[in-house]
Structure 1
Amino acid sequence: MNLEQLFLDNKEKTIEGRYLTLESIEPILKRINTDNQLSVIGKSVQGRPIYKYVIGAGKTKIYLWSQMHGNESTTTKALFDFLNVLHSGSDLAKELLSSFTFCCLPILNPDGATLYTRANANEIDLNRDSQDLTQPESKVLRAVFEEFKPDFCYNLHDQRTIFGVADTGKPATVSFLAPSYNEEREINDSRQKAINLIAGMNAVLQEFIPGQIGRFDDSFNINCIGDTFQYLGVPTILFEAGHFPGDYQREVTRKYVFMALVSSFTILNENVIEINRTEDYLNIPQNKVVFYDFIYKKVKINYDGIEKITNFAAQYKEELVDGKINFNAYVARLDDLEGFFGHEVYDAQGALYEDGGENVPKLDQKANFSLDKKLNFVNGLIKN
């Protein structure tokens, strides 16, 4: 199977970028509602509909939800790319539809998606509400779980650009987790199936982005939805869509999430997850917070009349302004950058830093400055 071509043939071209709201996907849902697959199963805090889309007639039931965190949109895009495969009429589509029943909740947190926030409109992290079920969105997710009785759960997320693959200096473009079901992080039959499936997806992705797949921390927290569903005996896989170099809109990462989804269903359909692949899973390096968007090295500053050479880092903050996401760079760390990497690294070679103020980089100030009055940096980047 040519996964690259499959993605190009099925990419949902009406959605792109980071800001993805209910209004963005409703036309797609209506278009692919060819046989009453779509229903409204609840409403958000602010009264927005939460949609359920069910397709397929197969025995194996797959439950997928995205944008539980409203500002994590990459997997929603990949989910619709995959749904286009199911509507393509291809042999692959026919095979998947006969083998699986897919139940999808795209944009579980529509208020957070509109606000571009992690939490919902009540400022509650839905991924910490799986036990108390205080929020309408959490109740919907759990009610569908109870009704649908899935064989596998796919918990679809994004992660920030700060994550790398251990200390390799490579970004964690896609990361996975088979959540724990108890404090001891033991492996039972349910978790084993999730582990084996992740090992299979990792093997496929390593062919495309070698060294850029991470394994998320498996500390147990019963308040997290993945841990809860794993505890309840359903194999659950956490997807984390991360950074690919230069891809701040996550359009490249989107492709690799799509590939992972398709590969996982191929693996399940071929029933090759029964082999114990715990060692392969544990050999996936763990995610680690080791990146900044920008690192500036060997910068000269004049501090109280004393010249010194220093380093500093800047990080983008994603800020919603007039319906668009602005990436605004702010100074995030000073001096000691041992063990950290930058997605962009500039060697100032001792050039003098000036910012029109005190001429010393300070935490949380905009990354606008010059070096030797020759190189001007605006929003972290060199301005030509």
Structure 2
Amino acid sequence: MNFSSLNYPDIKELSVHGRYISSSQLYSFLNSNSVRKKITLLGNSVASRPIHKITLGSGKINILMWSQMHGNETTTTKAILDLVNYLNEESDLANQLLSSVTLTIVPILNPDGAAIYTRENANKIDLNRDALELSQPESKILRVLYNEIKPDYCFNLHDQRTIFNVGGLEKPATLSFLAPAHDMDRTVSSGRGKSMKIIVAMHKALSAILPDQIGRYDDAFNPNCVGDTFQMLGTPTILFEAGHYAEDYEREKTREFIFYALVKAILVIARNEIRAYNVDDYFNIPENSKRYFDLLISNAQLIDSKYDQNIGILYKEVLDEGAIIFNPYIEKTGNLEDCFGHKCLDCEDQNDFDFIKSNRKLDELLF
């Protein structure tokens, strides 16, 4: 698939940018002329914030997708808005897709968590562990919607941390996918097999523009997770995980790749091409590992004798006046030869040492 033909810069939704995306930021988009008539109020969150769905298309195949089940995972929300823009352009491909499928999209399932940039909802419950109890209004809204539209496919959209690499490679897992298990033995049912084949299709298409940066997420079975539950109910479900791309902490480049993945997945479904792909190829996609630090400092004993060899630093994302700032903290010290850094500094290099000293946050953390 030639992704450049989609003209991404022209369809990118400019009203949202960066890591902090709340319901209030979607107001202008949801009230635009091209979207307003396609919006329905589903219900309200714990703190009475509205939860909406967008419905597009008239096809017989129903696809349900939702984003920001975790309020601080925003990249896929941005990509969803880009997708809506693209489908509203009425290109030949967009019209083909919309005549074959009906998309039901929940842009932000957890608006309370989104408002304060937390994983949990206002009751401090992880909605992705509430699939069986359905103790939260947001969980109930999603399940009622699922029961109402009886989707043929589900897309569960998330972000993953910067720690993930692909297999044993020194490559960040910019995208990861998972066909959730539907039983403890992680067998391949008919529905799970369809999920796997769609993932293979996305992997093959995106590997041309994102080589060695697409991983397979851990498939440990947990029936409390929404994806596992929907897979158990017989609906082919795909977990999308938006990860890190070099120098892209705002995840604007990753957003673009998620958009492409969504278009490819919908296209394969709409054209009934799933059978063209092989389940075995799913297992050939490298599984994620956790070997990255945001900053890897070597010869750290030159900073202070209390440090042993290397320092692995991660960033904590903190909401500050409507923007996300990245505060460093020490995750691990010692022999970190198996690990990678999104940025690597060697204290034997005077320029690197001076950089650490001149960075206020690093200076306060390390000295």
Length-normalised TM-score, structure 2: 0.94
> Which one-letter code corresponds to 2:142 in the other structure?
L
**Match for residue 70 of structure 1?**
71
Aligned 8 A contact 2:59 2:101 in 1? yes
TM-fit CA distance, 1:270: 2.3
Bigger shift: residues 307-316 or 98-107: 307-316
**Match for residue 199 of structure 2?**
198
1:147 and 1:373 map into 2 onto residues whose CA distance is 57
1:57 and 1:221 map into 2 onto residues whose CA distance is 34
**Match for residue 244 of structure 1?**
245
**Match for residue 45 of structure 1?**
46
Does 1:3 pair with 2:3?
Answer: yes
After superposition, residues 286-365 of structure 1 pair within 5 angstroms as: 286-301=287-302, 310-349=309-348
Aligned 8 A contact 2:302 2:347 in 1? no
**Match for residue 99 of structure 2?**
98
1:230-285 deviation line (CA, Å, top 9, x unaligned): 00000000000000010000000000000001111121222221245122110111
Aligned 8 A contact 2:201 2:277 in 1? no
**Match for residue 19 of structure 2?**
18
After superposition, residues 1-384 of structure 1 pair within 5 angstroms as: 2-6=2-6, 7-32=8-33, 36-275=37-276, 277-301=278-302, 310-349=309-348, 371=353, 375-380=357-362
1:209-238 deviation line (CA, Å, top 9, x unaligned): 100000000111000000000000000000
Aligned 8 A contact 2:307 2:333 in 1? no
Determine what percentage of the aligned residue pairs are the same residue. 46
1:215 and 1:124 map into 2 onto residues whose CA distance is 26
2:353 and 2:90 map into 1 onto residues whose CA distance is 58
1:176-228 deviation line (CA, Å, top 9, x unaligned): 00000000000010001000000000001100110000000011100000000
TM-fit CA distance, 1:301: 4.1
2:356 and 2:28 map into 1 onto residues whose CA distance is 49
> Which one-letter code corresponds to 1:62 in the other structure?
I
The structure having more radius of gyration, on CA atoms, is 1
Q: Give the secondary-structure state (helix, strand or coil) at the position aligned to 1:274.
A: helix
TM-fit CA distance, 1:29: 1.2
1:158-192 deviation line (CA, Å, top 9, x unaligned): 00101111220100000000000000000010001
Distance change >3 Å, CA 333–CA 35, structure 1 → 2: closer
Distance change >3 Å, CA 234–CA 373, structure 1 → 2: closer
Q: Which runs of 5+ in 2 are unaligned?
A: none
> Which one-letter code corresponds to 1:296 in the other structure?
I
Aligned 8 A contact 1:60 1:101 in 2? yes
Aligned 8 A contact 2:29 2:35 in 1? no
Q: Which runs of 4+ in 1 moved over 4 A?
A: 32-35, 306-309, 372-375
1:297 and 1:289 map into 2 onto residues whose CA distance is 19
For this pair of structures, how many residues does the alignment match? 362
1:281-333 deviation line (CA, Å, top 9, x unaligned): 10111111111000011133486xx7986211111110111221111112221
Bigger shift: residues 100-109 or 328-337: 328-337
Considering fraction of residues, name the structure with more helix: 2
Distance change >3 Å, CA 301–CA 57, structure 1 → 2: same
Q: CA RMSD in A?
A: 2.1
Distance change >3 Å, CA 330–CA 274, structure 1 → 2: same
Q: Give the secondary-structure state (helix, strand or coil) at the position aligned to 2:112.
A: helix
